[in-house]
């Protein structure tokens, strides 16, 4: 796509092209340096990859909420990270209680199921309230208005939960059944990571079934195609939108619990902000509005975030590369928005509709 | 691009202000404008007609650079304009109005027209901050000219109203005024009489004639009202499914069986033949 | 006619319960207990208690106003006020019971009953409209399970934890003390007091409706002034301290709290003043409007002169502590005016404004620091570096703007947010530590020196901020009324059409970003000089949100709005430290409420007044036509 004609030379294109070259060069040189130095063994790479996949599956679960809402309302629910936090933060108390009764380790699967259901339902209520109070009055207003509202709602929710549950850090109790590691061909992968990945994939399959195979799913798809026609077909638009927010919220809440099993520390009111932006990145990466895209985007982002610092940044001789994990993720966000805003799999909605 | 030099070097065809060759625009597989050859005679009032979805507005969007065409070339005044951005095309002397009026709603009528004069303004932001005499002079002239244009389109005294508070007919007129502000050689009007009552329609038709006769601008319009089209056009291009099915004088178009068929369906073609 | 209509009783119920939910919410997030720390009038009322009273008072007023409009009798109006007051207290009372040792079983019971009650209610509704039997049973079961999971889990949590406090730390002893009006031990007495006081406040609210307009206005004015002065007692004392001798001050204030007698006197004086204004204010305004234009301009000019004089004298009027607050406000006014160029004038929602602020601050820090990170041994002075900081911020703004020029509005917002986060992470990283100090930041930044005097006090720094703000204001007004301003406006309204008008939108947007960044850079540099140290923790997304909030609350593209927005949103948490914990809670709520109820802000820009004027003109034209 290099245009080099003077009569329609665009210096914006040119700058972006230069940026592209710099990034490609940086990645190639960094990767080459790291790989040729052999500092990291194959087993370590596999471990990083596996950890990235688990983290990515959590991003994917949150990203689905962004994508579902965008698919229907064409709005970015910026407060979705806080929906995730609501579930995760509330469930810490349940997890502690279950742990104290001993139920958590006696019946880990049941306990985790209960926690997921609880977190999912709490997040779902938050998401539905959010839609009802903050977003519904703004339907049909210019695009930036709901975005600013969402930013406001995001901070409101953060500080509400800070007020309700306190500002200190809490942690999920460990589950004995998830300790240890599985050996596969000489490479050991922690059980938690396998569990997290499987649970997330299971939930995504449930969602896929819901959207593709049920009547509600059909209604959701109809509303996202064309609201007016859907209304004429007798579909209750408000209900479908609320349901969509609810489903997105449920997935975010369950992601909160799964995240708590994966990284027990660091549960507090601010825990949703960064994962929220990252999940948004994942959603855009896969093509916002596109459900399989969000899943793929999440996994992709998780892997890049795990491997990127070690492969590229360390190779470029940057100290403390792992501190810059978030920088990699946010750079991905910006790069995707610059170079491929329609995402890997493409936006599900054509531009003419948007 | 081998033919590029050729295109730029070609002697200017006096008779044709706008010309397209093999112009094609696709939207993910759907061909909206298909290998179109057409021309607009300089100084004419020309119309593009065709049934709904014939690709008329797409055609306008391709000419004004809103869409980049996939194949072919567009020449304006003998120079190639495809591949240029909308602002460059406007600067070269084409301006347009929109089917669903797109004024700057929260700006006053006069500000709308002042924005329309962009291609001829030279002052910079530094001049504005420093309050240089040249900048102030230009601002005053811009405003003066905007008032003249308001008068010309019949909106005298409504300059301070926000454009969204104007009546529908006034908005249409203001949009034409804004398009005229760039002193174009060619103006593209997308359904200028849509939604107007018969009296307003006649006023608009007269106004379009005045545009050409008094100001000397070539006018291209997309129009649905056949009476308007036949009344004022000197050159008509008929599109259907993105292809040109007829071109020429109104009288010839009126009797062309392909046109009648495309427009009114087969039965009508037979009926009019009978 | 002395009957309540159905819609009226419904509005009593919903509004009463809403205000009750509000009171419970403020309690649960800790606002009431925190505000209790501040006495409004010595030994009479604290800010927390005021909050408890204001909710039923205001709701009672609103409800009664509706009732009066539908022609209800005065007795019924007063009793509706009482009802609203009781309803407002109800959720808090229930929470008090749940929180007490004796009645904790009620919490457990309620949580366990909720799913069944809700499901049965829903099923009953379905039965009444004659739904399918299987559907009714199915939905009953589904609701019991869904709500049951949540409420049984909560029951389990509270049972195992033993009390509410271990989950909801702000349902604390302090909170109980405030809401029971200092009867924490005798629960029933406390509850009765709360109900009584709340009902009284509700009744007072409805009584206000019955008072004729002029005395009502006077009363509300007197009450408002007294309570405001009381709440901002510390600020008022600091201002008076500069101008009044200590003994007088001691008679008015006990430490930072307004004493009772002066409060009463203030109330009487301001009520009288309010009464006079209510009587004659209208005439005065009319008289002003009827003045000849030249005279009117003179009056306006005198007003402006007085305002300018106050602005110039401000540090001497308010003293050191408040000057410090004024400088902080000024820095945010500066940033607000700068960001407004992007958001308000050009419609570009930039959420990474903190980037420019950080660049300005770090540039000043590194170039002038006399500490270990300042390599230049103080060769550069503040005045030399300000232009450098400005240019550097412009460059940063330019560099970050180029990639986002092609993005549509919401993506642009998120991308700029991403930039802000990247800068924050880089500032704290080990990678750049040798240059900008990582988490330790840069220290030992000297104060600016002005013709040999070191400007070390906030009173002196104030003038730097003032001048910078005035320059920014001047520039943005000049630009707004120029060709560039019209280009931006056109882009804000409709970017595609702006392009079709021949505007090079990329260039115009770039200019908006760059100029807006320049202001942010200067604000950052002044901030660094004021504080003397620069830490990465000062440059988070919260800065961007702060600035965004003050622009939106004040009024997008409205310069006076931005100043007022900054004074309220930045000044309030600085002056009332109890607020500062809740500032983002309130910013968030404000953003949502403003977008829904008043997107043009409290002090709308000329755009809106434009509209009003046009409306007046149209009316005049119509009148002339008739």
Query: Which helix H or strand E contains A324, and what residues bound it?
Result: none
> Is C153 an 8 Å CB contact of chain A?
yes
Are A226 and A332 contained in the same domain? no
Domain boundary among B181, B209, B240: B181
Domain boundary among B132, B148, B181: B181
Give the closest of B27, B28, B84 to A8, CB-based. B84
Q: What distance in Å separates the CA atoms of residue C319 and residue C205, rounded to the nearest whole number?
A: 38
Domain CATH for B250: 3.40.50.300
Where does the pLDDT of residue A9 fall: very low under 50, low under 70, confident under 90, or very high at 90 and above?
low
Strand order in the sheet with C45-46: C45-46, C39-41, C257-258, C253-254
What pLDDT shows up at residue B7? 39
Does residue C584 form part of some domain? no
CB atoms within 10 A of CB C436: 21
Are B80 and B211 contained in the same domain? yes
Does residue B99 form part of some domain? no
Domain that holds residue B171: 104-181
Where does the pLDDT of residue C203 fall: very low under 50, low under 70, confident under 90, or very high at 90 and above?
very high
Q: Are A261 and A88 in contact (CB under 8 A)?
A: no
Does residue C256 form part of some domain? no
Q: Is C556 left (phi over 0), alpha (psi -120 to 50) or beta?
A: beta
Shortest Cα distance from C341 to chain B (angstroms)? 13
List chain A residues with CB under 8 Å of B88.
8
Are A68 and A111 contained in the same domain? yes
CB atoms within 10 A of CB A352: 6
Are A319 and A193 contained in the same domain? no
Q: Are A341 and A76 in contact (CB under 8 A)?
A: no
Q: Which tokens sit at C508?
A: 């115009």
What pLDDT shows up at residue B5? 38
pLDDT tens for each residue of C288-338: 778 788 888 888 889 899 999 988 888 888 888 888 889 999 999 999 999
Are B202 and B88 contained in the same domain? yes
A-contacting residues of B 185-214, CB under 8 Å? none
Does residue C83 form part of some domain? yes
Res A345 pLDDT > 80: no
pLDDT tens for each residue of C220-262: 899 899 988 888 888 888 888 877 888 888 888 888 888 888 8
Shortest Cα distance from B252 to chain A (angstroms)? 36
Are B205 and B175 contained in the same domain? no
Q: What distance in Å separates the CA atoms of residue A62 and residue A123, rounded to the nearest whole number?
A: 11
pLDDT tens for each residue of C504-557: 888 899 999 999 999 999 999 999 888 888 888 888 888 898 899 888 888 887
**In Å, what is the CA distance from A5 to each residue of A9, A46, B4, B26, B84?**
6, 46, 11, 24, 12
Does residue B54 form part of some domain? yes
Phi, psi of A263 (to 5 degrees): -130, 90
Are B172 and B244 contained in the same domain? no
Domain that holds residue A173: 61-271
Q: Specify the long-range contacts of residues B25-31, CB closer than 8 Å, at least 24 apart.
A: B25/B55, B25/B58, B25/B62, B25/B67, B25/B69, B25/B70, B25/B242, B26/B70, B27/A352, B28/A350, B31/B242
Does residue A4 form part of some domain? no
Res B248 pLDDT > 70: yes
Where does the pLDDT of residue A214 fall: very low under 50, low under 70, confident under 90, or very high at 90 and above?
confident
Are B52 and B114 contained in the same domain? no
Res A243 pLDDT > 60: yes
Share of chain C above pLDDT 70, in %: 95
From the list C53, C62, C39, the residue with the least C-alpha distance to C89 is C53
Are B174 and B192 contained in the same domain? no
Does residue A27 form part of some domain? no
Chains adjacent to A (≥3 CB pairs closer than 8 angstroms): B, C
Res A251 pLDDT > 90: yes
Where does the pLDDT of residue B10 fall: very low under 50, low under 70, confident under 90, or very high at 90 and above?
very low
From the list C24, C568, C420, C590, the residue with the least C-alpha distance to A153 is C590
**DSSP category for residue A136:** G
Phi, psi of B186 (to 5 degrees): -135, 130
Q: What distance in Å separates the CA atoms of residue B82 and residue B64, rounded to the nearest whole number?
A: 9
Token pair 């570009």 is found at C348
Q: Are C570 and C329 in contact (CB under 8 A)?
A: yes
**In Å, what is the CA distance from B16 to each residue of A180, B41, B55, B84?**
81, 4, 22, 20
Q: Is C43 left (phi over 0), alpha (psi -120 to 50) or beta?
A: left
**DSSP category for residue C104:** H
pLDDT tens for each residue of C424-483: 888 888 788 777 877 788 887 777 777 777 777 888 888 889 999 999 999 988 888 888
Does residue C445 form part of some domain? yes
Are A221 and A323 contained in the same domain? no
**DSSP category for residue A295:** H
From the list C261, C262, C255, C259, the residue with the least C-alpha distance to C237 is C255
What pLDDT shows up at residue A131? 92
CB atoms within 10 A of CB C43: 10
CB pairs under 8 A between A and C: 187
What pLDDT shows up at residue A348? 55
Q: Which tokens sit at A205?
A: 């399959």
Q: What distance in Å separates the CA atoms of residue B179 and residue A99, rounded to the nearest whole number?
A: 72
- Cβ-count burial of B35 within 10 angstroms (0-12 exposed, 13-18 middle, 19+ buried)? middle
Q: What distance in Å separates the CA atoms of residue B70 and residue B83, rounded to the nearest whole number?
A: 10
Are A125 and A243 contained in the same domain? yes
> Is A216 an 8 Å CB contact of chain C?
no
Q: What distance in Å separates the CA atoms of residue C453 and residue C382, rounded to the nearest whole number?
A: 13
CB atoms within 10 A of CB B199: 9
Res C408 pLDDT > 90: no
pLDDT tens for each residue of C81-92: 999 999 999 999
Residue B213 exposure: Cα atoms within 13 Å on the Cβ side? 7
Token pair 């406006």 is found at C489
Where does the pLDDT of residue A60 fall: very low under 50, low under 70, confident under 90, or very high at 90 and above?
very high
Does residue C46 form part of some domain? yes
Q: C285 or C564: whose pLDDT is higher? A: C564
User: Can you say how many angstroms the Cα of residue A210 is from the centroid of all Cα atoms in its chain?
Assistant: 19
Does residue A200 form part of some domain? yes
Does residue C85 form part of some domain? yes
In A89-209 the beta strands, taken as DSSP E runs, fall at 181-184, 187-190
Res A5 pLDDT > 70: no
Where does the pLDDT of residue A75 fall: very low under 50, low under 70, confident under 90, or very high at 90 and above?
confident
Where does the pLDDT of residue A2 fall: very low under 50, low under 70, confident under 90, or very high at 90 and above?
very low
Domain that holds residue C203: 6-210
Mean pLDDT score across all residues of chain A: 85
Q: Structural domain tally of chain B?
A: 2
Are B200 and B267 contained in the same domain? yes
Domain boundary among C154, C176, C210: C210
- Judge: C486–B95 Cβ closer than 8 Å, yes or no: no
Are B73 and B118 contained in the same domain? no
Q: What distance in Å separates the CA atoms of residue C539 and residue C534, rounded to the nearest whole number?
A: 9
Res A245 pLDDT > 60: yes
pLDDT tens for each residue of B91-139: 888 999 988 888 888 888 999 999 988 888 888 888 888 888 888 888 8
Res C617 pLDDT > 60: no
Does residue B98 form part of some domain? no
Mean pLDDT score across all residues of chain B: 83
What pLDDT shows up at residue C90? 92
Give the closest of C153, C169, C413 to A147, CB-based. C413
Does residue A195 form part of some domain? yes
B-contacting residues of C 76-115, CB under 8 Å? none
CA-angle at C550, arms to C544 and C551, nearest 5°: 90
Are B109 and B140 contained in the same domain? yes
Phi, psi of B218 (to 5 degrees): -75, 135
Domain CATH for C441: 1.10.3470
What pLDDT shows up at residue C3? 59
Q: Structural domain tally of chain A?
A: 2
Domain boundary among B150, B181, B212: B181
Are A75 and A193 contained in the same domain? yes
CB pairs under 8 A between B and C: 103
Share of chain C above pLDDT 90, in %: 22
Q: What is the mean pLDDT of residues B18-45?
A: 85
Shortest Cα distance from C292 to chain A (angstroms)? 43
Q: Are C136 and C123 in contact (CB under 8 A)?
A: yes
Are B77 and B198 contained in the same domain? yes
Are A247 and A324 contained in the same domain? no
Are A316 and A227 contained in the same domain? no
Q: Structural domain tally of chain C?
A: 2
Q: Are A348 and A71 in contact (CB under 8 A)?
A: yes
Q: What distance in Å separates the CA atoms of residue C352 and residue C342, rounded to the nearest whole number?
A: 11
Does residue C204 form part of some domain? yes
């Amino acid at each position: 796509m290099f245009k080099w004609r003077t009569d329609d030379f665009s210096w914006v294109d040119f700058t972006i092209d230069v940026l592209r070259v710099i990034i490609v060069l940086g990645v190639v040189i960094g990767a080459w340096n790291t790989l040729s130095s052999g500092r990291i063994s194959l087993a370590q790479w596999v471990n990083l990859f596996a950890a990235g996949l688990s983290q990515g599956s959590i991003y994917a679960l949150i990203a689905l909420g962004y994508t579902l809402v965008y698919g229907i309302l064409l709005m970015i629910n910026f407060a979705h990270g806080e929906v995730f936090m609501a579930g995760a933060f509330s469930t810490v108390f349940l997890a502690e209680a279950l742990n104290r009764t001993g139920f958590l380790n006696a019946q880990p699967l049941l306990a985790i199921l209960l926690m997921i259901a609880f977190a999912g339902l709490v997040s779902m209520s938050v998401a539905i309230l959010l839609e009802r109070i903050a977003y519904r009055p703004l339907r049909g207003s210019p695009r930036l208005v709901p975005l600013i509202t969402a930013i406001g709602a995001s901070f409101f929710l953060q500080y509400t939960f800070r007020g309700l549950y306190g500002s200190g850090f809490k942690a999920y109790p460990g589950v004995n059944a998830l300790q240890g590691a599985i050996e596969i061909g000489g490479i050991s992968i922690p059980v938690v990571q396998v569990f997290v990945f499987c649970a997330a994939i299971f939930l995504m399959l449930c969602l896929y079934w819901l959207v593709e195979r049920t009547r509600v799913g059909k209604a959701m798809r109809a509303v996202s195609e064309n609201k007016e026609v859907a209304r004429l077909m007798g579909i209750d638009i408000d209900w479908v939108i609320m349901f969509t927010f609810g489903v997105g919220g449920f997935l975010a809440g369950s992601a909160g619990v799964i995240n708590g099993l994966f990284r027990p520390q660091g549960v507090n009111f601010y825990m949703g902000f960064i994962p929220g932006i990252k999940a948004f990145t994942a959603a855009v990466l896969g093509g916002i509005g596109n459900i399989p895209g969000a899943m793929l985007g999440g996994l992709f982002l998780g892997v890049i975030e795990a491997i990127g610092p070690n492969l590229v940044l360390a190779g470029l001789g940057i100290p403390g590369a792992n501190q810059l994990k978030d920088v990699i993720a946010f750079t991905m966000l910006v790069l995707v928005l610059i170079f491929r805003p329609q995402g890997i799999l493409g936006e599900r909605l054509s531009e003419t509709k948007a | 691009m081998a033919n590029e030099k050729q295109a730029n070097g070609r002697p200017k065809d006096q008779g044709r202000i706008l010309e397209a060759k093999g112009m094609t625009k696709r939207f993910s597989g759907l061909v909206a404008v298909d290998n179109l050859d057409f021309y607009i005679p300089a100084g004419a009032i020309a119309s593009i007609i065709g049934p709904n979805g014939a690709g008329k507005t797409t055609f306008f969007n391709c000419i004004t650079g809103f869409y980049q065409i996939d194949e072919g070339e567009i020449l304006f005044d003998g120079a190639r304009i495809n591949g240029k951005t909308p602002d460059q095309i406007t600067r070269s002397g084409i301006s347009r109005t929109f089917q669903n009026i797109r004024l700057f709603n929260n700006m006053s009528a006069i500000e709308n027209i002042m924005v329309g004069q962009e291609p001829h303004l030279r002052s910079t932001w530094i001049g504005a901050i420093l309050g240089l005499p040249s900048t102030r002079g230009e601002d005053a002239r811009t405003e003066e000219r905007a008032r003249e244009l308001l008068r010309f389109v019949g909106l005298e005294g409504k300059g301070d109203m926000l454009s969204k508070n104007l009546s529908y007919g006034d908005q249409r007129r203001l949009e034409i005024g804004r398009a005229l502000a760039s002193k174009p050689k060619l103006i593209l009007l997308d359904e200028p009489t849509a939604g107007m009552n018969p009296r307003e329609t006649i006023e608009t038709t007269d106004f379009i004639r005045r545009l050409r006769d008094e100001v000397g601008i070539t006018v291209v319009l997309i129009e649905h009202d056949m009476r308007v089209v036949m009344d004022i056009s000197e050159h008509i291009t008929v599109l259907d499914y993105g292809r040109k099915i007829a071109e020429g004088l109104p009288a010839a178009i009126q009797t062309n069986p392909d046109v009648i068929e495309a427009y009114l369906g087969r039965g009508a073609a037979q009926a009019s033949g009978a | 006619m002395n009957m309540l209509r159905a819609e009226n009783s419904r509005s009593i119920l919903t509004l009463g319960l809403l205000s009750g939910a509000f009171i419970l919410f403020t309690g649960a997030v800790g606002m009431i207990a925190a505000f209790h720390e501040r006495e409004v009038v010595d030994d009479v009322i604290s800010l927390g208690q005021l909050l408890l009273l204001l909710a039923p008072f205001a709701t009672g007023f609103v409800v009664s106003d509706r009732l009066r409009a539908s022609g209800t009798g005065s007795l019924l109006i007063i009793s509706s006020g009482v009802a609203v007051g009781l309803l407002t207290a109800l959720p808090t009372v229930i929470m008090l019971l749940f929180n007490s040792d004796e009645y904790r079983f009620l919490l457990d019971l309620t949580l366990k009953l909720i799913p069944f009650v809700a499901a049965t209610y829903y099923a009953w509704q379905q039965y009444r409209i004659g739904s399918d039997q299987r559907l009714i049973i199915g939905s009953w079961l589904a609701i019991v399970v869904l709500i049951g999971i949540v409420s049984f889990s909560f029951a389990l949590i509270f049972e195992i934890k033993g009390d509410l406090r271990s989950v909801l730390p702000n349902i604390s002893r302090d909170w109980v003390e405030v809401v029971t009006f200092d009867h924490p031990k005798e629960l029933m007495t406390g509850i009765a007091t709360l109900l009584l006081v709340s009902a009284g406040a509700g009744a007072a609210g409805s009584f206000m409706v019955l008072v004729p307009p002029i005395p009502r206005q006077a009363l509300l004015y007197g009450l408002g002034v007294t309570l405001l002065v009381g709440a901002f007692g510390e600020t008022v004392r600091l201002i008076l301290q500069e101008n009044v001798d200590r003994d007088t001050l001691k008679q008015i204030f006990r430490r930072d709290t307004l004493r009772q007698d002066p409060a009463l006197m203030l109330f009487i004086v301001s009520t009288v003043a309010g009464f006079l204004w209510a009587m004659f204010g209208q005439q005065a305004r009319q008289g002003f409007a009827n003045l000849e234009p030249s005279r009117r301009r003179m009056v306006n000019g005198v007003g402006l002169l007085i305002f300018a004089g106050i602005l110039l004298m401000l540090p001497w009027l308010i003293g050191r502590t408040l000057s410090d607050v004024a400088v902080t406000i000024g820095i945010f006014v500066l940033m607000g005016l700068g960001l407004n160029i992007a958001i308000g004038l050009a419609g570009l929602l930039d959420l990474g404004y903190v980037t420019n602020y950080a660049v300005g601050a770090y540039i000043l820090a590194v170039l002038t620091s006399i500490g270990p990170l300042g390599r230049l041994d103080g060769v550069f002075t503040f005045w030399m570096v300000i232009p450098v900081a400005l240019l550097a911020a412009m460059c940063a703004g330019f560099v970050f703007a180029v990639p986002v020029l092609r993005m549509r509005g919401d993506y642009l917002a998120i991308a700029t947010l991403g930039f802000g986060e990247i800068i924050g992470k880089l500032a704290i990283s080990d990678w750049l530590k040798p240059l900008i100090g990582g988490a330790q930041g840069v220290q030992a930044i000297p104060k600016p020196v002005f013709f040999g005097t070191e400007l070390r006090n906030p009173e002196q720094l104030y003038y730097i901020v003032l001048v910078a703000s005035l320059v920014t204001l001047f520039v943005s007004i000049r630009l707004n009324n120029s060709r560039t301003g019209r280009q931006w406006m056109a882009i804000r309204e409709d970017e595609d059409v702006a392009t079709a008008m021949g505007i090079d939108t990329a260039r115009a947007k770039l200019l908006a970003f760059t100029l807006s960044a320049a202001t942010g850079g200067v604000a950052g540099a002044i901030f660094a000089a004021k504080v003397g140290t620069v830490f990465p923790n000062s440059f988070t997304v919260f800065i961007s949100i702060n600035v965004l909030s003050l622009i939106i609350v004040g009024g997008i593209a409205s310069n006076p709005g931005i100043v007022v927005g900054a004074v309220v949103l930045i000044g309030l948490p600085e002056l009332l430290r109890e607020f500062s914990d809740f500032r983002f809670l309130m910013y968030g709520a404000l953003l949502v409420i403003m977008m829904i109820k008043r997107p043009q802000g409290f002090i709308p820009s000329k755009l809106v007044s434009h509209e009003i004027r046009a409306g007046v003109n149209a009316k005049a034209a119509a009148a002339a036509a008739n």
